[in-house]
Structure 1
Amino acid sequence: MKSHSSTLLAEVRTFRQNHPEVRYVDLIALDIPGRFYGKRYPVEMLEKVAAGSPLKLPQNAVLLGAQGGLFKIGDYCFHDGDPDANRRLVPGTLKPVSWEAQPLGQMLITSDGTEAPIEFEPREVLAKVLERLHGKGIHPVVAFELEFYLFDRKLADGLPQFARDPLSDDPDDQPTLHIERLSRFAPVLNDMVQTAQAQGIDITVITAELGPGQFEINFGHLDDGLRAADWAALFCRSTRGVALKHGYRASFMAKPYLQHPGSGMHVHVSLYDAAGNNLLAAHQQQPLRHAVAGCLELLPHCMPIFSPNHNAFRRLGGTVNAATQASWGYEDRDACVRIPESDPRNLRIEHRLASADANPYLVLAAILVGLEHGLEAAREPIAPLNEDRASGQAFPLEMLEAVRAMQQQPALREGLGAEFVDVYCENKRQDHLAFQQEINAREYRWYL
């Protein structure tokens, strides 16, 4: 513990030396809906925390709804006295914030690794899954890909406007999938990449996607699943800030336009043993097939994680490369679980179903539990799409049905933790019901 504190203290002191202009640091963590919460600390107080002083925040901050309110979930929030819970600083995440008007720093905090971790904190859920897999000799290597849209900074009557292309105001004039669009938006995209890199994030490939003002960013592969999810979460935060600085609004909303493709979160996962052998490639790739079968079996029960809100369900079906069934295939982007072409050393799955606004810690945790379940059950999967284009298993396409499917799945309750599953499902149910408590203009047009 003393050595750990010494490392953190050295990190904070080095940061202060390199950034003497920074007076405050945002200590941040991801809540259940995937939004950051936290506190803004004077940097001198941060040094005390790094040296071992307690860091406490309300436990129930993790349970915030999409709009920040609290819901009654069991005895939490309104019958537990709203207790504090210990957090710890995540080493290596103290970085400068360049998109704010005033000098600022930020650092991730978490309850995992504390004496009493919060069972439903997303990072803690993933930490437990990874710890269990490591205990079984399974070591995941992970890479995220995120799609997002750029919009004009100002909304028009509450609706998003296309990002203004420097050469044209016509959204139809934006070259789809062309390298030219990267050039037209180079100033903001380059700043996004440089800012992410300053946060310690390894950005690899940038792609102009199908939608007007839509892009995809790929991250490097990591043998640390927690850090990989940290990268995805931090990239969303920095990208929104950089976009505003350039006069745009960046959004990871799953389906901002009905007539254009939605934005997804694609996760590449390979599994290795302690000696570095690819477990999925052994025995003529039989473990790969078992892992796929497990993913597909649990996928319909993970929909509240992969599609965490009403809008995310709109993304499923009817557009390019958005699956409508739990399916798999080799080099097939219509599949939920795609097997990219690779050599045995790099054999992996690409899980393509989650929306870009899903919680990266929970998405990865759910995928890993599916892989784990499949390896242990050792069952054959359904036919791949390459053999049968109709192959697939139905999954819920509405939140309340999805919550019921998730809450009653034994393997998921065991893999993610029963307390987490119950809390998460109730949070999603309450959030969905709260969203429905508004009459929109269309209802008046149809039914008045």
Structure 2
Amino acid sequence: MTPNEPGKERTGTANLFLAAHCDLNGILRGKRVPADHGQKVLKSGIRMPMSSIGVDVWGTDVLGNDLFDRGDLDGIVEPTERGPIPLVWGEAPALFVPMWMRLEDGSPFFGDPRRLLAEVLGRFTAKGLTPVVAMEVEFHLIRDASPYKPVPIADLPDSHAGAADTIYSLDELGEVSGFLDDVYAMAGDCGIALEAVTSESGPTQYEFNLLHRADALRIADDTVYLKQIIRNMARRHGMRATFMAKPYMQHAGNGLHMHFSLIDAAGRNIFDDGTDKGTPELRHAVAGMLEAMHDTALIFAPHRNSSRRLRPGTLAPVNATWGYENRTAAVRIPGGARAARRIEHRVAGGDANPYLVIAAVLAAAFMGLDERLTPPAPTDGNVTGVTARPIPPDWRQAIETFEASPLVEKLFPRDFIRMFTSCKRQELEVFEGDISALEYRSYLHTV
């Protein structure tokens, strides 16, 4: 057995098991289980409240959904097909058990983001299609020097706003080589296939690329687990990692870009016709993604801070546009080998839930294919001034749009829509109930 093939042989070496599902915010929640109970967990799973998936970002129960009206019932959290992996938090030998939730009667619980993605993938399977997916994960390394503002590992000079931008710097990669080596090592042990890591344009900002796989569930799993590995290894090296969408207003934010193509039963990439433009199917998929982008923006920008990243002049998209080799557009068709023709979706921030991002992109693409939608003309050059439907710049607007949209109801099960919007509304109410330090500094003694 290779390190990339975790199996039952590992269970005998663990002192404890960490069994968890992923909540709507992309946060792992579960239980620590003694080793002598590990096999029971692997065989039968564990019981947890269905509401544990829908808690807000602080881990508080969300009372706005109807789960409490039903008595806050338990769901069955059972191991996924992956089996235990050596994703560890502390020093004790441990195994992490990836899990997902179903209802007591065995049917899927669509409040679980992994179940939601599986349902979307079932639509492609029924058509004989398989998405091939890769993800790009951006983050900052910071120090906890202040409770109010992250401090990058490299001190920011005061000369000008871009002075610490070090895109593609090998020196910056070298300064954290021990951390990067440990991320690669644990990811490899967990079966997560990583490609390049780069120094991005923000101060101590980095990006890991996950290799393409014809298994979107596995890629979503890998992205969630990679984020946790990065956090754990950063702490081990005396740092912290943040996937916050916009930790510094004057610097680039963190994105979560998704690449995908579609292969048919014969293994043919249906986006490739031997030309640079690609097939009509590629354009149908693009049209569906653009059609859904406004109404599904809450999935790609789910938090109070998220929309700060989606601003003009930042290489983050601001409207529903597409183009060939155009990084200012929301949807980009990368160049390269025609046989690998694919679509890149550039809207999601690093703070978004990978399961939901992949589900939303693929559900919209499927709609475009199924309805044979036609996109507007591709855009060349900077899209900031192009007339196109904007991505909602306001969190409240994104929540209200998602909740009321007939298009969203066409893409997703109602249980998920209700839970997700209830969660986001509760978070919005907490933020709106707080008076910021800036408000006090601006108004307390002046007006």
TM surpasses 0.5: yes
May I ask how many residue pairs the two structures share in their alignment? 431
Match of 1:14 among 9, 14, 28: 9
User: What CA distance in whole angstroms lies between the structure 2 residues aligned with 1:381 and 1:174?
Assistant: 36
* Equivalent in the alignment of 1:420: 416
1:80-99 mapped onto 2 (5 Å cutoff): 80-99=70-89
Q: Secondary structure at the match of 2:305?
A: helix
* Equivalent in the alignment of 1:107: 97
Q: Secondary structure at the match of 1:222?
A: coil
State the shift of 1:388 in Å. Answer: 8.2
**Aligned partner of 1:278: which letter?**
N
User: What CA distance in whole angstroms lies between the structure 1 residues aligned with 2:377 and 2:164?
Assistant: 41
Q: Secondary structure at the match of 1:270?
A: strand
User: Are 1:76 and 2:72 matched, yes or no?
Assistant: no
* Equivalent in the alignment of 1:41: 33
* Equivalent in the alignment of 1:5: none
User: What CA distance in whole angstroms lies between the structure 1 residues aligned with 2:373 and 2:139?
Assistant: 36
1:147-186 mapped onto 2 (5 Å cutoff): 147-152=138-143, 154-164=144-154, 172=163, 175-186=166-177
Percentage identity across aligned positions? 34
User: Contact between 1:93 and 1:199, CA under 8 Å: does it hold in 2?
Assistant: no
User: What CA distance in whole angstroms lies between the structure 2 residues aligned with 1:164 and 1:278?
Assistant: 43
User: What CA distance in whole angstroms lies between the structure 1 residues aligned with 2:164 and 2:148?
Assistant: 24
User: Contact between 1:112 and 1:127, CA under 8 Å: does it hold in 2?
Assistant: no
User: What CA distance in whole angstroms lies between the structure 1 residues aligned with 2:128 and 2:102?
Assistant: 21
User: What CA distance in whole angstroms lies between the structure 1 residues aligned with 2:58 and 2:45?
Assistant: 29
| TM-aligned CA distance change 1:210 to 1:377, over 3 Å | same
User: Contact between 2:261 and 2:269, CA under 8 Å: does it hold in 1?
Assistant: yes
The CA RMSD measured in Å over matched residues stands at 2.3
User: What CA distance in whole angstroms lies between the structure 1 residues aligned with 2:382 and 2:200?
Assistant: 28
CA deviation map 1:376-408 (0-9, x unaligned): 222221222217842532121112211222223
State the shift of 1:12 in Å. Answer: 6.1
* Equivalent in the alignment of 1:357: 351
**Aligned partner of 1:16: which letter?**
T
State the shift of 1:92 in Å. Answer: 2.7
| TM-aligned CA distance change 1:248 to 1:172, over 3 Å | farther
Q: Secondary structure at the match of 1:87?
A: strand
User: What CA distance in whole angstroms lies between the structure 1 residues aligned with 2:175 and 2:258?
Assistant: 28
* Equivalent in the alignment of 1:247: 238
User: Are 1:279 and 2:270 matched, yes or no?
Assistant: yes
Q: Secondary structure at the match of 1:244?
A: helix
* Equivalent in the alignment of 2:327: 333
TM, length-normalised to structure 1: 0.91
**Aligned partner of 1:15: which letter?**
R
User: What CA distance in whole angstroms lies between the structure 2 residues aligned with 1:441 and 1:374?
Assistant: 46
**Aligned partner of 1:382: which letter?**
P
State the shift of 1:93 in Å. Answer: 4.0
TM, length-normalised to structure 2: 0.91
Match of 2:393 among 397, 405, 417: 397
| TM-aligned CA distance change 1:118 to 1:182, over 3 Å | same
More displaced, 60-69 or 39-48? 39-48
Q: Secondary structure at the match of 2:128?
A: coil
**Aligned partner of 1:46: which letter?**
G
* Equivalent in the alignment of 1:216: 207
State the shift of 1:85 in Å. Answer: 0.7
Task: Indicate the structure with greater helix content.
Answer: 1
User: What CA distance in whole angstroms lies between the structure 2 residues aligned with 1:169 and 1:248?
Assistant: 22
User: What CA distance in whole angstroms lies between the structure 1 residues aligned with 2:373 and 2:65?
Assistant: 37
State the shift of 1:326 in Å. Answer: 1.1
Match of 1:342 among 324, 332, 336: 336
* Equivalent in the alignment of 1:447: 443
| TM-aligned CA distance change 1:353 to 1:11, over 3 Å | closer
**Aligned partner of 1:423: which letter?**
M
User: Contact between 1:264 and 1:353, CA under 8 Å: does it hold in 2?
Assistant: yes
User: What CA distance in whole angstroms lies between the structure 2 residues aligned with 1:302 and 1:181?
Assistant: 36
| TM-aligned CA distance change 1:346 to 1:60, over 3 Å | same
More displaced, 169-178 or 200-209? 169-178
CA deviation map 1:20-55 (0-9, x unaligned): 2x21111111101111100111222121233x3352
1:380-395 mapped onto 2 (5 Å cutoff): 380-386=374-380, 389=383, 390-395=386-391
CA deviation map 1:308-359 (0-9, x unaligned): 1010111011342111111111111111100001333211100010000100
| TM-aligned CA distance change 1:107 to 1:395, over 3 Å | same
User: Contact between 2:290 and 2:320, CA under 8 Å: does it hold in 1?
Assistant: yes
Residue segments in structure 1 that go unaligned for 5+ positions in a row: 1-9
User: Are 1:195 and 2:177 matched, yes or no?
Assistant: no
User: Contact between 2:50 and 2:74, CA under 8 Å: does it hold in 1?
Assistant: yes
User: What CA distance in whole angstroms lies between the structure 2 residues aligned with 1:130 and 1:298?
Assistant: 17
